[in-house]
Structure 1
Amino acid sequence: MWTIPKPNYRSDFCAEGEIAVNIGGVRTVLFGDVLNRYPESRLAELVNCSTENYEAISSLCDDFDPGRKEFYFDRDPDAFKCIIDVYYFDEIHIKRGICPVCFIKEMEFWKIDQSVLDECCKSYLSEKQDELTEIASKVKVILEDLEVDRCITRTQRCQRFLWRLMEKPGSSLPARIIAIASFLSILVSAVVMCVGTIPELQLTDSEGKLVEHPTLEAIETVCMLWFTTEYLLRLASCPNKLHFALSIMNIIDFMAIMPFYVVLSLTYLGTTSMMELANVQQAVQALRIMRIARIFKLARHSSGLQTLTYALKRSLKELGLLLMYMSVGIFVFSALAYTMEQSHPETLFRSIPQSFWWAIITMTTVGYGDIYPKTTLGKCNAAVSFLCGVIAIALPIHPIINNFVVFYNKQKVLETAAKHEVELMELKSGRDARRKSRN
């Protein structure tokens, strides 16, 4: 039975058809017929290269001992142990502890195509490349914050400074104060909106209708003026006006501001006779709640909110399965409850669609008690639906939490790596500047 010859790590002399390679101090004897399985690789070129052609040999290795027929390479010996597997097994696995990006550079040096990587290693490499891309984007953002003076004109410098002030709370102390003020304005506006609906705090106008207290209206006006000023400053300083206008969060900002001025215009223009101002105010009141969504604008500066969004995005499959299980359970248990409760004269289950509500609040363990079974079979059906709902809800919890923890830790590592990369670039630039000053 024919066996695959293994590389020799101990032989001091090479027989005919063999070569010795010294990788970072680790000597390995390889067989020429094995290396010729990949004729375009660097090792195959060394096997087929004449020992008298020193110029060709020097272009393929760092040093050469003609007496021992040994080639020297200043490369990573651990990575080389993975590289030579391709000659024997036609595939390569990246061992744990080796940087996949550096390993790809090793493969390029040894002239081995990336297609021989195993699928698991390809996915691992793709993940690491995505991480490097994300680190590069974070480094770019940090450098943009640090290099305001690169702008040519004073207008560009002022625009960049204002953009950082309004959009990047982490860039300076004033920007952080503005972000906190914006956040507090959102909370105050939301609180005023809620408190203004309390009848005890409302006043009666000349027509006998309840209106908001003037103090609350004044606070609301101040908040709207702050929102308007903030929106206009961000619009004036943004580098891409079209992208700014089409952004979802900016559309929400615009929709939260405009109703205030629409009502103000209708009031001062005297068009209340043409339109019911109360109905308009109700619509505006419904639109005002959209201001709460502006809190999510801070997600760009909050790793926690980013992680939560990513965890939900990565868990769409689990959430979809949960909704499917819940939908099937709601349909089955509501139909059973309707059938079982028909024999009771005081049944609360008038139809299967009406029973959907009972099934939803039962399977989600809410249980308002507005609809409940009265027969024994109906109560048994309710108990089973409750247990099935608990199981269905508990199943996807672990994957969602795991995605949250993994991505949160990953974001922390990437942010630290980006800051470390910027520090290295600053040290390198400082070292180069000192060298130029000495010269």
Structure 2
Amino acid sequence: MWTVPKPKYRRGSCDEGEIAVNIGGVRVELFGDVLNRYPESRLAELLNCSTQDHEVISSLCDDFDPGRKEFYFDRDPDAFKCIIDVYYFDEIHIKPGICPICFIKEMEFWKIDQCVLDECCKSYLSEKEEELTEIANKVKVILEDLEVDRCITRTQRCQRFLWRLMEKPGSSLPARVIAIISFLSVLVSALVMCIGTIPELQVKNADDKLVEHPTLEGIDTACMLWFTAEYLLRLASSPNKLHFTLSFMNAIDFLAIMPFYVVLTLTSLGTASMMELANVQQAVQALRIMRIARIFKLARHSSGLQTLTYALKSSLKELGLLLMYMGVGIFVFSALAYTMEQSHPETLFSSIPQSFWWAIITMTTVGYGDIYPKTTLGRCNAAVSFLCGVIAIALPIHPIINNFVVVYNKQRVLETAAKHEVELMELKNGRGVRRKCSN
């Protein structure tokens, strides 16, 4: 079996056909035939260049000892130990403890293409690059909030001030107060919507029908006016209005506001005969129910809810597997229950689609008891479906929780890294960037 000669870590002069490199104090002797496997690399160029051509040598290394034919490099020796693996194994692994971004710079210095990285290291590198991109975006946002551009016009100054006031709660005390008011308005609006459905608190209108109490309706109107003013101010001060309009959370805000004005238009401008139509009344009732979308506005003010959304998004594969397992189980156990219960004269399973409901509430351990088996085989089938449902639900729970912990810790690390990056930029520039800027 043919074996590849290893690099030699020893002192002394190198033999003919070898090259000696000193990487940060670590002397390594490499074989020429091995280096020529990658002729475009820096080490291969050093091997093949003339020792008398000092200009070329000085462009390829930091220093050179002609007597010992030794090249000196002020580079990381640990990273170099990974680099030389490509000459012997045609692939490179990034060892633990080495920054992947710095390692890529080392590969560029030694003129090694990134395609030789192993697949596991490529995925690890892409993950780190995404993290750096997120840190850079956070740093950009922080700098935009802290720095004052003296070249912009008065209108742009007012727009930026209003944008920070409505969208950046951490930029100033008034912005934090506005965020708290918005948060409380959402809670009050949701509470009023729930209390308004209590029959004891409702009043009768001219048609002797129970409607929402005028006081609660006034509170809800005040909350809606606040939501409307907040949305319009954020839209007017947004630097990119198209992106603002198409944003998911802003679309939720719009859906929470829109039903109020549609109902107001139908009730104030519509004639009495028109409002008596059943389809119009149903439309008004549906629009009133859409007020529940206001509760999703809490996600814009809560980083915890945003983290939960990101965690669920990263757990789509696990959630998909859960739905697939539950779907297969529901189909199998409902069909078995229907077949086993047909022998009983008072069976509650009239069809397989009607048995789906029983399978759902059984596998999810709800068990309403409205539909239940009456035969022995049916009860055994119910016991098995119950156990399979518990197992199917329990299996993806740990990956989902782990994804939430990973996303939460990652968000905190990225925010801390962005703040540290801003502090380093302040130190490098020799000036302090003010945390609160007033125009």
What runs of 5+ residues in structure 2 fail to find an aligned partner?
Answer: 434-439
Note the C-alpha offset of 1:431: 6.4
Query: What is the CA–CA distance in structure 2 between the aligned matches of 1:432 and 1:249, rounded to whole Å?
Result: 34
Query: What is the CA–CA distance in structure 2 between the aligned matches of 1:288 and 1:218, rounded to whole Å?
Result: 15
Distance 1:231 1:140, change over 3 A: same
Q: 8 Å contact 2:260–2:288 — kept in the other structure?
A: no
Distance 1:187 1:313, change over 3 A: same
Q: Which residue of 2 aligns with 1:436?
A: none
Q: 8 Å contact 2:426–2:432 — kept in the other structure?
A: no
Aligned length: 430
Q: Which residue of 2 aligns with 1:38?
A: 38
Q: Which residue of 1 aligns with 2:291?
A: 288
Note the C-alpha offset of 1:2: 4.6
Query: What is the CA–CA distance in structure 1 between the aligned matches of 2:169 and 2:24, rounded to whole Å?
Result: 49
Amino acid of the structure 1 residue aligned with 2:236: A
Query: What is the CA–CA distance in structure 1 between the aligned matches of 2:361 and 2:64, rounded to whole Å?
Result: 79
What is the SS of the residue equivalent to 1:343? Answer: coil
Deviates more, 1:188-197 or 1:48-57: 48-57
Query: What is the CA–CA distance in structure 2 between the aligned matches of 1:151 and 1:312, rounded to whole Å?
Result: 43
Query: What is the CA–CA distance in structure 2 between the aligned matches of 1:357 and 1:147, rounded to whole Å?
Result: 59
What is the SS of the residue equivalent to 1:37? Answer: coil
Query: What is the CA–CA distance in structure 2 between the aligned matches of 1:431 and 1:143, rounded to whole Å?
Result: 14
What is the SS of the residue equivalent to 1:170? Answer: coil
Note the C-alpha offset of 1:420: 0.7
Query: What is the CA–CA distance in structure 2 between the aligned matches of 1:95 and 1:326, rounded to whole Å?
Result: 42
Amino acid of the structure 1 residue aligned with 2:289: A
Measured on the aligned residues, the alpha-carbon RMSD in Å equals 1.9
Q: 8 Å contact 1:151–1:157 — kept in the other structure?
A: no
Q: Which residue of 2 aligns with 1:139?
A: 139
What runs of 5+ residues in structure 1 fail to find an aligned partner?
Answer: 434-439
Query: What is the CA–CA distance in structure 2 between the aligned matches of 1:307 and 1:377, rounded to whole Å?
Result: 46
Would you say 1:76 and 2:76 are equivalent positions? yes
Amino acid of the structure 1 residue aligned with 2:108: E
Q: Which residue of 2 aligns with 1:211?
A: 211
Distance 1:405 1:65, change over 3 A: same
| 1:91-240 correspondence runs (5 A) | 91-150=91-150, 152-240=152-240
Give the structure-2-normalised TM-score: 0.93
What is the SS of the residue equivalent to 1:149? Answer: coil
Query: What is the CA–CA distance in structure 2 between the aligned matches of 1:54 and 1:47, rounded to whole Å?
Result: 13
Would you say 1:384 and 2:387 are equivalent positions? no
Would you say 1:305 and 2:305 are equivalent positions? yes
Q: Which residue of 2 aligns with 1:318?
A: 318
Note the C-alpha offset of 1:143: 0.9
Q: Which residue of 1 aligns with 2:341?
A: 341
Larger RCO (CA under 8 A, 6+ residues apart): 2
1:231-282 Cα shifts (integer Å, max 9, x gaps): 1111111112222222333333223223323333344436232223754542
1:101-121 Cα shifts (integer Å, max 9, x gaps): 111111111111111111111
Deviates more, 1:129-138 or 1:314-323: 314-323
Q: 8 Å contact 1:183–1:295 — kept in the other structure?
A: yes
Q: 8 Å contact 2:338–2:350 — kept in the other structure?
A: yes
Q: Give runs of ≥4 in structure 1 deviating > 6 Å.
A: none
Deviates more, 1:290-299 or 1:324-333: 290-299
Query: What is the CA–CA distance in structure 2 between the aligned matches of 1:258 and 1:35, rounded to whole Å?
Result: 69
Amino acid of the structure 2 residue aligned with 1:128: K
Q: Which residue of 2 aligns with 1:437?
A: none
Query: What is the CA–CA distance in structure 2 between the aligned matches of 1:240 and 1:377, rounded to whole Å?
Result: 64
Deviates more, 1:194-203 or 1:306-315: 306-315
Identity %: 84
Q: Which residue of 1 aligns with 2:437?
A: none
Distance 1:220 1:103, change over 3 A: same
Q: 8 Å contact 2:19–2:70 — kept in the other structure?
A: yes
Distance 1:233 1:27, change over 3 A: same
Distance 1:269 1:16, change over 3 A: closer
What is the SS of the residue equivalent to 1:261? Answer: helix
Give the structure-1-normalised TM-score: 0.93
Query: What is the CA–CA distance in structure 1 between the aligned matches of 2:35 and 2:15, rounded to whole Å?
Result: 15
Amino acid of the structure 1 residue aligned with 2:195: V
What is the SS of the residue equivalent to 1:108? Answer: helix
